[in-house]
Amino acid sequence: MRNVRNILWVLGLALAVGWNAADARADAQLVWNGTEWVSPAPAEPGTPEGDLVILRQMVADGQNKRVVKMVEEFLVAHGESPACEEAMNLAGQSLINQGQYWNAYKWYERQISTYPNGAFFERALDREFLIADAFVGGRKRKALKIFRVPADLDGLDMLMRIAAHAPTTPIAERALLRAADFHFTRAEYPQAVAIYEDFLKSHPLSEHRKYAMLQVARAYLLNYRGVQWDTAPLLDARKRYQLFAQAYPQDAEKENVEGILEEIRLGLAQKVYNTGRFYERTKHPRAAAFYYRKTIEDYPDTHWANSARGRLDMLGPLPTDARPFTPPPPETPKTKVAKASPEEAPPQAASTTPPPGRTRNQPVVDLPAGPGSISDASTSADSPDLAEQPVPLEDLSNPSPAN
């Protein structure tokens, strides 16, 4: 009796699976008529539904070369039909299948601009993202039908357009993060910061928020180039790491945020101390004393404070002056400093050129290697550029059913 029940249960399950499969096949054969999904009309040439069935079958069978021309003819013959949206989408897919990603992108943009709220809008954006990802990953495009030229910046522009087409959507999240990561891997930290910050503002509830918060902190820190340069990136990095630690305390421990913040504090202390050394060397003892005292007051437990105490002792009593002392701004006086040691190098305003011997993506704050260290967050100067590694697009070769 028990065996009979088991057999009946298996038969019932098989029938249910068969019915579901039949329903799935029926659903897969439906087409969008502008209002609802309906069963397609017979493939009769000359009607929008019939011509669309022929185009769809050609793409499915790999007969891609004639599709674009037939779609152009379709748009002329059935310009008022909502089926034109899918026809444009099929033209883009046929070009992707032939490896013509740039031309495919232009068809998807044409579709989106003509049908901004169409049934195939999300499919077009998905294909655009995969094309853009391939371009920023190193795939080149044809120019003048002969030359193959880099298309990474074209891909970057595509990503930003995708985010503008569908703001606050998951595809916009993916596009913004990919664009920000692209700048980060190229050591273009100000550009990366701008896009990460845009992502955090426009997607406050995203599951990728933690990643973006950590990346923006790393980008700020890596943009700091040493005591000779402006400390604004270092101060911004400190703030972003503190916010990350407040929002994700367990992850902050894994990323060694406490150690990074301590290194930032030491970097700021060194900056103040070096400013004092510069003014002492350039014969401005009162200014030097001001910055030495500031080092001691703001960072009393650091070795820079100990050095500042020693320099104050060497300065000895300073001459009295009836005028109130105003500290000079930490800018470089017009004094020849070619022979200054690294410790005594004068403070300078921010520059677009990194100091000698340091690459743009080489960290300034040296931390022990390990999870959360600056070496983890940076990209080595010897690492291969991700833009030179083509991204395969196998998943572009098979059109997915409309959502």
272 and 198, same domain (yes or no): no
171 sits in which H/E element: helix 170-185
- Asked, for residue 161, whether it belongs to a domain, the answer is yes
291 — pLDDT class (breaks 50, 70, 90):
very high
- Asked, for residue 326, whether it belongs to a domain, the answer is no
Query: Span 127-140, mean pLDDT?
Result: 96
- Asked, for residue 79, whether it belongs to a domain, the answer is yes
46 and 191, same domain (yes or no): no
The pLDDT value given to residue 38: 77
194 and 277, same domain (yes or no): no
Query: Span 96-118, mean pLDDT?
Result: 96
81 and 197, same domain (yes or no): no
208 and 342, same domain (yes or no): no
41 — pLDDT class (breaks 50, 70, 90):
low
23 and 168, same domain (yes or no): no
248 and 379, same domain (yes or no): yes
Measure the CA angle with vertex 12, ends 8 and 13; round to 5°: 120
- Asked, for residue 170, whether it belongs to a domain, the answer is yes
The pLDDT value given to residue 318: 76
Res 326 pLDDT > 50 = yes
- Asked, for residue 11, whether it belongs to a domain, the answer is no
Residue pair 67/91 in contact (Cβ under 8 Å)? The answer is yes
Identify the CA nearest to 244 among candidates 222, 266, 211. Answer: 211
Tokens of 189: 């930290």
Query: End of a domain among 57, 88, 119?
Result: 119
The DSSP code for 218 is H
pLDDT digits (tens, 9 = 90+) for 358-369: 343 433 333 333
Torsion angle, CA of 375/378/384/386, rounded to 10 degrees? 140
211 φ/ψ angles, rounded to the nearest 5 degrees? -60, -45
Residue pair 48/81 in contact (Cβ under 8 Å)? The answer is yes
Q: Which residue type is seen at 252? A: A
Query: Span 15-28, mean pLDDT?
Result: 41
DSSP β-ladder status, 140-143 and 147-150: antiparallel
251 and 336, same domain (yes or no): no
20 — pLDDT class (breaks 50, 70, 90):
very low
Range of the domain at 54: 18-119
Which residue would you say has higher pLDDT here, 83 or 351? Answer: 83
Which residue would you say has higher pLDDT here, 21 or 319? Answer: 319
Query: End of a domain among 119, 139, 159?
Result: 119
165 sits in which H/E element: helix 152-165
Averaged pLDDT score across all residues of the chain? 79
- Asked, for residue 306, whether it belongs to a domain, the answer is yes
The pLDDT value given to residue 332: 45
* Length reported for the chain: 403
110 and 248, same domain (yes or no): no
In this structure, of 11-15, 212-216, 317-321, the range with the lowest mean pLDDT score is 11-15
Whole-angstrom Cα distance, residue 77 to residue 278? 78
Q: How many domains does the chain have?
A: 3
Residue pair 252/322 in contact (Cβ under 8 Å)? The answer is no
212 and 288, same domain (yes or no): no
Q: In sequence order, what are the beta bridge partners of 141?
A: 149
The pLDDT value given to residue 298: 96
236 and 137, same domain (yes or no): yes
Residue pair 304/270 in contact (Cβ under 8 Å)? The answer is yes
289 — pLDDT class (breaks 50, 70, 90):
very high
Q: Which residue type is seen at 71? A: V
- Asked, for residue 362, whether it belongs to a domain, the answer is no
- Asked, for residue 291, whether it belongs to a domain, the answer is yes
pTM: 0.70
329 — pLDDT class (breaks 50, 70, 90):
low
